[in-house]
Structure 1
Amino acid sequence: MVSGLAGRWQDLLAAIRLGPVRLGLLGTVLLVLGSLSPAYLPQASPYWPVMRALGLDNEVARVAATALVIGAVGLLILAWYRLRPAVYADVKPWAILCWWALPLLIAPPIFSHDAYSYAAQGWLIQNNLNPYEVSPSVLPGTFADQVAWLWRYTPAPYGPLALTMAHWLDMLAGFNPYYSAVAQRIPALVGVALLVHFLPRIARQLGLDPRQTAWFSTINPLLVIDLIGGAHNDALMLGLVALAVWLAYRGWYWPAVVAVGVGMAVKQPALLAAVPVAVIGSNWESWRWRDLVRFLPRALVTLVGVLIIFAAISLATGLGFGWLNAVGVPGMIVTLAPFSILGWLAEQGFTLLGMEAVGAAAPPLLQSVSLAIAIGLMGWLGIKYARTEPITFLAWAYLAFAVFGPALHTWYLLWGALFLPLARVSDRVLRTAAAVTSVLLVYGAGNLAWRNASIALALAAVAAAAIWLVLRRRARANAIV
């Protein structure tokens, strides 16, 4: 055990000796400093009295904070690209991630206020209220005040296990509203640890290069910022999906089914992983009727097994299935989803023409069209890939659901993107995915800059353009991927 710990320490030391690792660490330090601004802190944050006492609540400080965040993102992207040849050759990916995550462990939630919602929903449970039936606003106070204004008045759409864990973490934090939100990072860290441990191992099981998977999926800056920094419960869901896939390839069918069911109890999209769990090891030979009939009992048993685990957890927590009433909550705001943007544009256009009723009907109609497209794409992907390449199906189906589902946030794209290196994609596809990751990070850095000041938003736009130009130049020089 001592020798094992000594070896881990040597891995950490080897990592920090590398310039790109130190560059990324500087990036996350700057990210934490830049997050101490109105763009990321709710008004109820305990940081505000200290910042006001230090004279940091002014426009100059806000612009400086925006600059720090944008600079941090640029450093992380640059460090990520430079580390590709070194992963597993000179450094372990988990060691890189440890250094980069270190400053984020005690930082306020970054690029998102969802962790404050988790904490407020846990507070509801502490007061014998069901988050599926009431919103955080029914308990006025700091817990509710930390929640983003819209989600303050909506029920929870998350799985029952996620809500129960939020309650446990509130208890761990002594029901301090701020520390309860920070504590929500613990399940996210568990999920990321599962991803780091199992994704390269799945690559080896598939005969793929684990270095490519480790580079793209386990030290991806989007994972660092959104899953660790943002403390999203998607991290634990994805970690359990990765565990389920690894178990399935090891031939441990029932533990894999349980892992999917538990993942679904964290966040419902984990259900999609039931497909590869059913297919892997099934010897499903073709789409001929005879072979399909042989496979269908296993598929049905897998689905029923996952749903039984999910139902058992739902009943054991006492929360039931009220999340069904909140499935439309994520789509209540305009997000990056193409049809969400189209719906908003249509609504604005019809309203300008004096056709308010038509405008109000446009977003839900287009959301229905988008969901139909998502279901159609997942069906086509199932026919094309599920039988022969179940992980390829999983990666692209998750991406289809993220893009055409009711809402799209940057971390939703990680559902499928983290499995892309396991989908036997071409180098061109992975290069494109890396470029999209960079664009999303720049978008995330500038998305909330308007809260800091109009000049901060202008700075974000200029910096985003500059980062993009640098990346384009490096791409042309074949220096990126």
Structure 2
Amino acid sequence: MATTTDPAPEVPSLAPGAPDEAHRVRARVPSRFPYRTISLGTIGSVLLLLGALGAGGVLIRDPVIGTGPLSWVRYGHGRMLANAVLYTGFGLVVWAWVRLGRYMLAGRIGSRPILIAAACWMGPLLVSPPLFTRDVFSYLGQGAQLLHGLDPYAHGPAELNVLPDVVQNVHPVWQTTPAPYGPLFLLVAKGVVALTGDDVIAGVIVTRLVLLLGLGAMVWALPRLVRRLGGKLPITLWLAVASPMTVIHLVGGPHNDLLMLGFLTVGVLAALESKHVVAIVLVTLGMLIKPTAAVALPFLVWVWANHLPGDNRGRNFLKAGAASVGIFGVVFVVGTWVSLGSFNLGWVAGLQAPTLVTNWMNFPTGIGQLAHTLVHLVINVPESPFINVARLLAVAALGVFAVRQWWKSRFGGNEAVFRMSMTLLATAILAPPTLPWYLTWGFVVAAAFPWRRRHLAIVVGVAVFLVMAYYPTGEQALYDWWFVVLMIGVGVYAAASLLRPDPLGLLGAWRRQSVAEGGAVTSPTSSATT
């Protein structure tokens, strides 16, 4: 309707398989601030918060609800109601995000409403119980170990005899498992526990606030990356900041990947701006948060080499490589020493801990499980050899892929950054394990490149699936096959809704009449590819 605050959504009409830019029809509708869409997502975020009190990553001994009059929300029908509220909130956030995406593609809103929407949707989750994960309790447990002199790379939190509330909330799988995180992040976790002590609720909130520094760095760097990588800023911010992957997983989780991504994005920007020493320092610090950031470093060497004067590529590469290795070595040694009080490389061995997670979201693990299932029909054999062989082959394939992408990056520039992003994504998919938020490693930087509308729709479907792949409690939902079918269906519908409002006609004729009265006709005023 022309009188609504939000603009009416566009109805794309592109010929199948034709380029987006060849079939544009400009919509003559004035831009308006999307108050209703932002409010819709904010209501959804509040419902996520309320539902999480009963169905999220709740505490074993909760000083807020505990055994009081509201404790019923964690048992029986009360828990079912909490789950219903939580998933309703999730649906509203996704609905608002997709609507915002349609307005963005129609050219009716710019970057500011998207950032405001993301802030409104994240706000309630800052004080929420953890959503779809319990990793933050592991962060606090490992920080407590470092604070009280117990090596997190040699022992699990269960061996800590202080801060009982912090320790007991660590997931059973990680109670006796060494930390898989970089030493700098353990120093951050140590600081959080030093401030909040055995108050787990305060620890979760303070952890989120610290991780927001990474979000702030991303928001600062992305507009500058867009100018260099050729994307559209509203699309980039919609993908990388307002997405449910960021709002729900990285902030609502929360996950330390957000802090690593802050270092990574600013580091990549510094490399493109010829501030190469700063770039290597920042990405190395990101590696000391989450070790996978190290994948980006060899690609930044090519960027540096191509910025050096002279035509001798081999000599320039050796100069840039030697300088990068030297800078990396200094930052790595000093960062490890400052964080741990000694040059303790035990955290390298700790990287094996996540391989304990086995699910078919990790492509090679899924192949191994499928092979075992087929063989098991004939003979009773254990599953682990199948998974181990499949993972070994996948790691070898990843190595070949990474080297090939690295070599194709030898001319530096945007090409090197793009191939770096693809290699980070491949690492998340092929190296064990694959957890939903791992896909953000390469995706955030890739968001600054040009995108086609059909690819954006695919991202919507994948993002919805990745959030729903774990139950709100943090347990995986990937073997509840009816729920998997539901996940896929919801993801496909959300993806289709980006390109065409109400693709199944579920909202009825009145909605179609509303679109017609609003005057919004076909495809966006500016394509995602320009």
1 or 2, which has the higher helix percentage?
1
User: Hey, what's the Cα distance between the residues in 1 that align with 2:70 and 2:118?
Assistant: 34
User: Hey, what's the Cα distance between the residues in 1 that align with 2:298 and 2:498?
Assistant: 36
Equivalence for 1:377: 401
Say yes or no: does 1:342 pair with 2:367.
yes
What's the CA shift for 1:461?
6.1
Equivalence for 1:437: 463
Select 1:296's aligned residue among 305, 314, 318: 318
CA offsets 1:419-459 (integer angstroms, 9 cap, x no match):
223344544333322321122223345785899xx9xx799
- The residue identity in structure 2 corresponding to 1:182 is I
What's the CA shift for 1:418?
1.3
SS at match of 1:154: coil
Equivalence for 1:100: 121
User: Hey, what's the Cα distance between the residues in 1 that align with 2:196 and 2:157?
Assistant: 18
Distance 1:274 1:475, change over 3 A: same
Say yes or no: does 1:124 pair with 2:145.
yes
User: Hey, what's the Cα distance between the residues in 2 that align with 1:474 and 1:198?
Assistant: 30
The question of whether the paired residues in 1 share the 8 Å contact of 2:288 and 2:335 is answered with yes
Equivalence for 2:95: 78
Equivalence for 2:354: 330
What's the CA shift for 1:101?
1.1
Equivalence for 1:185: 208
- The residue identity in structure 2 corresponding to 1:120 is G
**Any stretches of 5+ residues in structure 1 without a counterpart?**
1-13
Say yes or no: does 1:258 pair with 2:281.
yes
User: Hey, what's the Cα distance between the residues in 2 that align with 1:156 and 1:378?
Assistant: 26
What's the CA shift for 1:142?
2.1
- The residue identity in structure 2 corresponding to 1:55 is W
Say yes or no: does 1:64 pair with 2:64.
no
Distance 1:472 1:115, change over 3 A: closer
What's the CA shift for 1:351?
6.2
Q: What is the correspondence of 1:191-340 to structure 2 with a 5 Å cutoff?
A: 191-283=214-306, 291-317=313-339, 318=341, 320-335=344-359, 336-340=361-365
Structure 1 or 2, whichever has the larger Rg, is 2
Select 1:135's aligned residue among 139, 153, 156: 156
Say yes or no: does 1:412 pair with 2:438.
yes
- The residue identity in structure 2 corresponding to 1:307 is G
Distance 1:450 1:250, change over 3 A: closer
The question of whether the paired residues in 2 share the 8 Å contact of 1:201 and 1:246 is answered with yes
Distance 1:339 1:41, change over 3 A: same
What's the CA shift for 1:300?
3.3
The question of whether the paired residues in 2 share the 8 Å contact of 1:272 and 1:394 is answered with yes
The question of whether the paired residues in 1 share the 8 Å contact of 2:296 and 2:420 is answered with yes
User: Hey, what's the Cα distance between the residues in 1 that align with 2:407 and 2:252?
Assistant: 37
TM-score, normalization by structure 1? 0.86
Distance 1:51 1:243, change over 3 A: farther
Say yes or no: does 1:115 pair with 2:136.
yes
The count of aligned residue pairs is: 460
What's the CA shift for 1:396?
0.6
Select 1:41's aligned residue among 25, 50, 58: 58
Q: Which moved more, 1:438-447 or 1:180-189?
A: 438-447
What's the CA shift for 1:472?
5.5
User: Hey, what's the Cα distance between the residues in 2 that align with 1:98 and 1:440?
Assistant: 21
Distance 1:472 1:406, change over 3 A: closer
What's the CA shift for 1:359?
3.4
TM-score, normalization by structure 2? 0.79
The question of whether the paired residues in 2 share the 8 Å contact of 1:118 and 1:181 is answered with no
Distance 1:362 1:268, change over 3 A: same
The question of whether the paired residues in 2 share the 8 Å contact of 1:350 and 1:359 is answered with no
Distance 1:76 1:347, change over 3 A: same
What's the CA shift for 1:116?
0.2
SS at match of 2:73: coil
What's the CA shift for 1:235?
0.5
Equivalence for 1:363: 387
Equivalence for 2:10: none
**Bigger relative CO (Cα 8 Å, ≥ 6 apart):** 2
What's the CA shift for 1:245?
1.3
SS at match of 1:56: helix
SS at match of 2:469: helix
- The residue identity in structure 2 corresponding to 1:234 is D
Q: What is the correspondence of 1:2-17 to structure 2 with a 5 Å cutoff?
A: none
Equivalence for 1:29: 46
User: Hey, what's the Cα distance between the residues in 2 that align with 1:18 and 1:128?
Assistant: 51
SS at match of 1:327: helix
What's the CA shift for 1:208?
3.0
SS at match of 1:100: helix
Q: CA RMSD in A?
A: 3.1
What's the CA shift for 1:281?
4.9
Say yes or no: does 1:398 pair with 2:424.
yes
Distance 1:366 1:460, change over 3 A: closer
Q: What is the correspondence of 1:165-184 to structure 2 with a 5 Å cutoff?
A: 165-184=188-207
The question of whether the paired residues in 2 share the 8 Å contact of 1:70 and 1:442 is answered with no
- The residue identity in structure 2 corresponding to 1:324 is V
What's the CA shift for 1:406?
1.2
User: Hey, what's the Cα distance between the residues in 2 that align with 1:15 and 1:28?
Assistant: 23
User: Hey, what's the Cα distance between the residues in 2 that align with 1:301 and 1:16?
Assistant: 49
Q: Which moved more, 1:329-338 or 1:44-53?
A: 44-53
CA offsets 1:36-55 (integer angstroms, 9 cap, x no match):
23552242443451566553
The question of whether the paired residues in 2 share the 8 Å contact of 1:328 and 1:406 is answered with no
Distance 1:98 1:475, change over 3 A: closer
Distance 1:326 1:462, change over 3 A: closer
Distance 1:465 1:376, change over 3 A: closer
Equivalence for 1:6: none
Question: Sequence identity of aligned pairs in percent?
Answer: 25
User: Hey, what's the Cα distance between the residues in 2 that align with 1:94 and 1:307?
Assistant: 37
